[in-house]
Structure 1
Amino acid sequence: MISIVYFPKIGAPQLNLPFSALRSALADREGLVWVALEEPDEEEITRVMVNQFHFHPLAVEDCQSDGYQTPKLDDYGEYLFLVVQSVTSGGLLEGDTTRELNIFLGDHYLVSSSLRKVTAVEKLRKRLERDERIYQNGSDFLCHALLDQVVDEFIPHIDQLEEEIDFLEEAVLSNPDPQTLQRILRLKRYSMNLRRVISPQREVINRLCRDDFPMIDPHSQMYFRDVYDHLVRIFDMLDGIRDMTTSALEVYLNATSLRLNEVMKALTIVSTIFLPLSFVAGVYGMNFHYMPELGWRWGYPLVWLVFVLIAIGMLGYFRKRRWF
């Protein structure tokens, strides 16, 4: 689907510009054009990126790739090509952690493309209807608003991770079952995937706020720097979550080992108590004819009394040594 928004220098914004009017809108160097391709097919990508904007074939190829791409920034002279990753709405419950968003930034236009739906694009489109600053300050500020929306969507997922790790820290102490281990490993894998995305994405934003690009106004660089600061804070929070997840995993392993030791201790005590009892029973179970105790009237009750005294004596000894 192709969505075109046109902000002329003079006049009302056109939030649903037809594709046939795109060429004339781009001819207005004083205006601003945003072309958003959401879940496009090859024909739509060719119509916009190749026939209309004449983007570099390598950049177009990246937009058509459905595999994971590391966030990057390529300078093609007349425009910048950015690859960023936006977090999915399902978060921890989703199989895929992020979705790719490709951005072309020119001096008076912005082209965004994603093979799967990215919620940040739709949210920014709604913001345009009530916040004029986004499009009145040029394409670089519009690009900043889109990147800022992408980064802001990481925050709820970080909060979700922190709530999950708080729950798991209590669970590993109260009930360290296999389901708890699976949740710990899933949380660790998800946080590592986010960290793998945030690290290169942070460097992309760092270049936007430090390098000298003709399509980025120096006044707008401070806004990109604010996005960079958010990414740094998110990266630090992910580092903390990773450490807490590792600690929770160690606590789980120690707790399960402790429970196993308690079980082994109980079984050892039972086995140790029955060892002398088995010895006494084995002695009087021998089939010798001349055993004086076999003819005693109170021999059988006496053996049971010996059994009970041995068991009580050994339990008292174990308790005195604090073995249980």
Structure 2
Amino acid sequence: MDSRIKRVKYKVRRRQGNVGDQPGLIVIPDDALKPHVAMFSYNKDELVTSEGKSIKVILDQFKKCDNHTHWIKVNGLGDAELIEQIGIHLNINPLVLEDIANTHQRPKFDEYNDYAFVTSRIVHFNKEDELINNQFSAIIKDNLIISFEEDHEEYFEAVKLRLKAGKGAIRTAGPGYMCYALTDTIIDTYFMLLAQIGDKLDLIEDKVYTDADKSIMFNSQQIKRTLIIIRRASWPERDKINDMIRSESPLITAEVKIFLRDAYDHCIQAMDLIENYKEVTSSIIDLYLSMVSNRMNEIMKVLTIISVIFIPLTFIAGIYGMNFARQDDKGHVIPDNMPELYWHHGYIYAIVLMFLIAIIQVFVFWKKGWFNKL
């Protein structure tokens, strides 16, 4: 496995619109993708699909499949007219349409007279290792669920395969069950993302013990930031699912609530993993800082030992480097001036003395065990 960790890029999102705009105003971001509409009409006997780019696809299939449950899948929010037409046709509150277009919503579950509105966050790494945090929105009404996604990526292929297979309750449990299936798939993407983060943390932790460098700090910090983003998505997701379980809306049946409890457990597990990984990330950072501090202490200890050894040697050299004359210019002996300056072999004596002092100090340090801890 490659030990290098790529730098995670974070897709910057800016809130659209101006301060004081009229409530319910649909503001489409400049970089929003043009919508692609896919419609799945199903019952226990058949599945009818169609695709297009306008509301005509929806209206035509409504006419042909009046005794089916419908899943309308809109990928791309770059057409305000389409969103408005869907709102008019289904009699949706303009505030809901505004929340669909304004892709900064936190996960929530809102109930209205004859429909419900849910939002979630789809968080994942793309091929460029960029962290994507997109909004998923859905309107549940009668025998219909219409979902909105920001891009053209396919996140619900598994749900489509289950729908084609026709096994289980997905074709018979109504739009509430489809909402559960989509929500559960989004939670599963959190586990996939956390598995990738877990692998990266293992690589970083191995590097701490084998070849620690400052990249550990950078990689750990960006993973911690990623975990914060996932946490901001998963915590309100738990509250949203709990609101759905407690809802008395006929759109969320007792059968669906059983499955929602399972999704709630999955969300709790994801949150536990997030908290555990945050602790591991913080521990790695603390461990690296402690290792750097210990290494600095070891270096300072070596320098201190060297300094202690040379301090007395420098003192001796400094004393005999003052060169006070023993005699004046007339040959008279000057009292209290260095008699050693005229010793025979004085240089050898000084060198031997300094060498002995150094040996004694090294021996004392060795007996104290200072060298064993370097």
Superposition TM-score, scaled by structure 1 size: 0.90
Q: Percent identity?
A: 28
Q: Give deviations 1:196-216, integer Å, cap 9, x for gaps.
A: 211110111112223211112
SS at match of 1:101: strand
Q: Which residue of 2 aligns with 1:105?
A: 140
Q: Please show how residues 43-62 of structure 1 align to structure 2 within 5 Å.
A: 43-62=80-99
Q: Give deviations 1:34-64, integer Å, cap 9, x for gaps.
A: 1111112133543543233232111111111
| Cα RMSD, aligned residues only | 2.4
Over 3 Å counting, the alpha-carbon distance change for 1:13 and 1:44 in structure 2 is farther
Deviation of residue 228 (structure 1)? 0.9
Q: Give deviations 1:203-247, integer Å, cap 9, x for gaps.
A: 111122232111122111111111111111111111211222222
- Say whether residues 1:4 and 2:30 are aligned partners: no
* Runs of 5+ unmatched residues, structure 2: 1-34, 327-337
Over 3 Å counting, the alpha-carbon distance change for 1:249 and 1:92 in structure 2 is farther
Max radius of gyration: which structure? Answer: 2
In 2, Cα distance between equivalents of 1:263 and 1:85: 49
Over 3 Å counting, the alpha-carbon distance change for 1:234 and 1:289 in structure 2 is same
In 2, Cα distance between equivalents of 1:164 and 1:32: 43
Equivalent residues, number:
322
In 2, Cα distance between equivalents of 1:8 and 1:185: 47
Q: Which residue of 1 aligns with 2:233?
A: 197
Q: After alignment, is 228-237 or 168-177 more displaced?
A: 168-177
Q: Do the aligned residues in 1 keep the contact of 2:135 with 2:150 (CA within 8 Å)?
A: yes
Q: Which residue of 2 aligns with 1:121?
A: 156
Over 3 Å counting, the alpha-carbon distance change for 1:91 and 1:257 in structure 2 is farther
Q: Give deviations 1:261-289, integer Å, cap 9, x for gaps.
A: 10111111111111111111111111211
- Say whether residues 1:322 and 2:369 are aligned partners: yes
Aligned residue type for 1:281: A
Q: Which residue of 2 aligns with 1:310?
A: 357
Over 3 Å counting, the alpha-carbon distance change for 1:48 and 1:149 in structure 2 is farther
Q: Which residue of 1 aligns with 2:333?
A: none
Q: Do the aligned residues in 1 keep the contact of 2:108 with 2:118 (CA within 8 Å)?
A: yes
Over 3 Å counting, the alpha-carbon distance change for 1:146 and 1:10 in structure 2 is closer
SS at match of 2:47: coil
Q: Give deviations 1:92-122, integer Å, cap 9, x for gaps.
A: 94244x2110111112111111223453234
Of 26, 48, 58 in structure 2, the residue corresponding to residue 14 of structure 1 is 48
Q: Which residue of 1 aligns with 2:178?
A: 142
In 2, Cα distance between equivalents of 1:302 and 1:80: 98
Where does structure 1 differ by over 6 angstroms across 4 or more consecutive aligned residues? none
- Say whether residues 1:292 and 2:348 are aligned partners: no
Aligned residue type for 1:4: A
In 2, Cα distance between equivalents of 1:92 and 1:238: 23
Aligned residue type for 1:112: S
Q: After alignment, is 287-296 or 201-210 more displaced?
A: 287-296
Q: Which residue of 1 aligns with 2:224?
A: 188
Deviation of residue 249 (structure 1)? 1.9
Q: Do the aligned residues in 1 keep the contact of 2:39 with 2:57 (CA within 8 Å)?
A: no
In 2, Cα distance between equivalents of 1:74 and 1:161: 32
Superposition TM-score, scaled by structure 2 size: 0.79
Q: Which residue of 1 aligns with 2:287?
A: 251
Q: Do the aligned residues in 2 keep the contact of 1:71 with 1:83 (CA within 8 Å)?
A: yes
SS at match of 2:135: strand
Q: Which residue of 1 aligns with 2:31?
A: none
In 2, Cα distance between equivalents of 1:61 and 1:303: 91
Q: Give deviations 1:171-220, integer Å, cap 9, x for gaps.
A: 33444321111111112221122112111101111122232111122111
Over 3 Å counting, the alpha-carbon distance change for 1:252 and 1:275 in structure 2 is same
Q: After alignment, is 146-155 or 242-251 more displaced?
A: 242-251
In 1, Cα distance between equivalents of 2:199 and 2:39: 39
- Say whether residues 1:264 and 2:300 are aligned partners: yes
- Say whether residues 1:33 and 2:70 are aligned partners: yes
Over 3 Å counting, the alpha-carbon distance change for 1:293 and 1:254 in structure 2 is same
Which structure dedicates a bigger proportion of its chain to helix? 1
SS at match of 2:49: coil
Aligned residue type for 1:100: Q
Deviation of residue 250 (structure 1)? 1.8
Q: Which residue of 1 aligns with 2:261?
A: 225
